[in-house]
Structure 1
Amino acid sequence: MPDTPDTIELNAISHHFDTASERIELFKGLSCTIHADQTLAIVGPSGAGKSSLLAIAAGLEKPAGGTVRFIIHGADVDAQTMRANSGFIFQQFHLMPELDAIGNLALPLRLKGNRDASDIAALWLEKVGLKDRARHRPHQLSGGEQQRIAVARAFITAPRFVFADEPTGNLDIHTSQAVAELMCDCAQATGCGLVIVTHSRQLAQRAGASLILAAGRLEEAA
């Protein structure tokens, strides 16, 4: 293990978006540090900028102001390298409709040139309890089953961080609990940092720490 842990450092970041008539300031001067092996929930009201904050932390967007520092394997890296060491889970499952379950899982490994992609995908299908769904395409799977595939896909490349944006937003309460448990178990088993934007109080309570983004301020939940 490197002496310097894998971290994301947000330093006095600001962000906004422009409408036809005005500029909407989402937040200004936010700072926090996110560690690998930590499960962190970001909560707050709709429109507060939670998804934008997540995208900035993941290297998907640049902040309007401030700086972001990514440290992977003890070295400073750029946003592209950060993304290559990350997994993503969204409210919409974003599975490839023409691929079956095992094909969707194997795809990120194949894109990285992994010759054992199918074997690793089969192991992950078993881990998430969908071994018997290997040859089913997304339209043949329930929403919960599709999200289980999406969770496994996020972790299958052994990323240092996984970012989840409302991952249970399209699921019923029972299925949401199962998916939340699966995500947290995967993060713990792999030593991966998990950052979750959620409206779900139950999901936030499963996280090791929670941050509240509201009125342009970021505060640690009690």
Structure 2
Amino acid sequence: MHDTIELKQISHHFDTSEERIELFHGLSHTIRTGETLAIVGPSGAGKSSLLSIAAGLEAPVGGTVRFTVDGREVDALTLRANSGFIFQQFHLMPELDAIGNLALPLRLKGNRAAFDIAASWLEKVGLEDRARHRPHQLSGGEQQRIAVARAFVSQPRFIFADEPTGNLDARTSENVSSLMFDFAAETGCGLVIVTHSKRLALCAQKSLRLEAGRLEVSA
């Protein structure tokens, strides 16, 4: 049974001091675990807003969003507790070392094996020798590999990534992309990525192109 996020006729806008910016209107799509999805389109089209709405981080202005986990409908808070997030800025805790950053989501959930699990994920991303390094002692690529592992460490149902390779060079981007898609396949989660990278979008099973308020789906 797939966990799902159903977007039904959702609309969104935001207001500036001078005008209302309409992002999109009447969009519908269902996101499922076990699938990888890229959201693409020009800057300002509302891709990040669409991701935030799908992730339960913000509510749409119009329409409804329905989340189901284990066959039952849940609220946005429950979805977020079952999700992992990857951002363009790495958002690691500067006072924690690499293994501490990785263990944090597990410790917050009271998992006594947090550091053992974190150590195994450090190995998966090839950074076991950086366990005691703090973020400022790591390269951008190393920080993002830690951020990717941190998103997956709790075995979430969904991973939401907003421009995860936006700050990385081509070679490092490829490495980080491979990790995300490999881990998604391994864990069976749903992976939703906002990206400007055509190469990254082509790795996904399906693309949603958001442009001029409309959504086009291509497999």
Q: What interval of TM-score do these two structures reach, taking the shorter chain for normalisation?
A: over 0.9
Indicate whether 1:136 and 2:120 are aligned: no
1:146 aligns with 2:138: no
- Choose the corresponding residue for 1:13, options 7, 10, 13: 10
Q: Give 1:25's aligned residue.
A: 22
- Residue 50 (structure 1) shift: 0.2
What number of residue pairs does the alignment pair up? 219
Q: Which letter does structure 2 place at the counterpart of 1:98? A: E
- TM-score between both structures, scaled by the size of structure 2: 0.99
Query: In the alignment, which residue of structure 2 is the partner of 1:177?
Result: 174
Amino acid at match of 2:147: A
Question: In structure 1, what is the Cα distance between the partners aligned to 2:188 and 2:168?
Answer: 26
Structure 2: which amino acid aligns with 1:10?
Answer: L
Residue number among 212, 215, 219 corresponding to 1:218 in the alignment: 215
Unaligned runs of 5+ in 2: none
How much is the aligned-residue C-alpha RMSD, in angstroms? 0.6
Equivalence for 1:67: 64
The residue aligned with 1:100 is 97
> For 1:118, which of 106, 115, 120 is the aligned residue?
115
Identity in percent: 77
Aligned to 1:203: 200
Find the counterpart in structure 2 of residue 56 from structure 1: 53
Q: Is the 8 A contact 2:2 2:34 kept in 1?
A: no
1:160 aligns with 2:157: yes
Amino acid at match of 1:145: E
Does structure 1 conserve the Cα–Cα contact (< 8 Å) formed by 2:40 and 2:201?
Answer: yes
CA contact (8 A) 2:157 2:189 kept: yes
Deviation beyond 6 Å, 4+ runs, structure 1: none
Please report the TM-score for the alignment, with normalisation by the length of structure 1. Answer: 0.98
**Paired AA for residue 221 in structure 1:** S
For the residues of structure 2 that align with 1:188 and 1:9, how far apart are their CA atoms?
22
